[in-house]
Amino acid sequence: MALSDIPALVKHVTLAIHDGKSVDGSGVTRFLRAFHIARGALVRQGFLVAGSEEGPTSKIKLTGKGLMKNNSHLHEGKAFTKSARFNALYQKAQIVIETQDSEETATKPSPREEQRELKNK
């Protein structure tokens, strides 16, 4: 997932949800929930194309209405600060996710080891 795939509109809405009181949790969990909610809400409101709410960030696509709104978010006074804050939270979330994935892979037996265990039973 590349940060360059994420429009400013999505970043700023995610932060608004994250900073509000409507999302439970803390840290990475809170951020990921806010990101998921933002994507879904923006699809429902017609700012993102259907299918943008799930999957990798490369699937996030703005509608015409979304392009206009994204431009206003790109040129607002705190656009750089908000995007930098989102980027930091996003990168932290990716590190946690990648660490969890590698820990699961490390504890999971390889297919060859699974076959040996089945033969020995």
Say if residue 111's pLDDT is above 70. Answer: no
Residue 103's pLDDT band (cuts 50, 70, 90): low
The larger pLDDT score, comparing residue 45 to residue 78, is at 45
What residues contact residue 18 under an 8 Å CB cut-off, 6+ apart?
30, 31, 34, 89
Cβ-based neighbour number of residue 59 at 10 Å: 15
**Per-residue model confidence (pLDDT) at position 83:** 92
What mean pLDDT is predicted for residues 42-60?
A: 94
How far, in Å, CA of 102 to CA of 41, rounded? 31
The larger pLDDT score, comparing residue 8 to residue 112, is at 8
| Tens digit of each residue's pLDDT (9 = 90 or more) over 35-48 | 999 999 999 999 99
Extract the tokens encoding 84. 């930098």
**Per-residue model confidence (pLDDT) at position 46:** 97
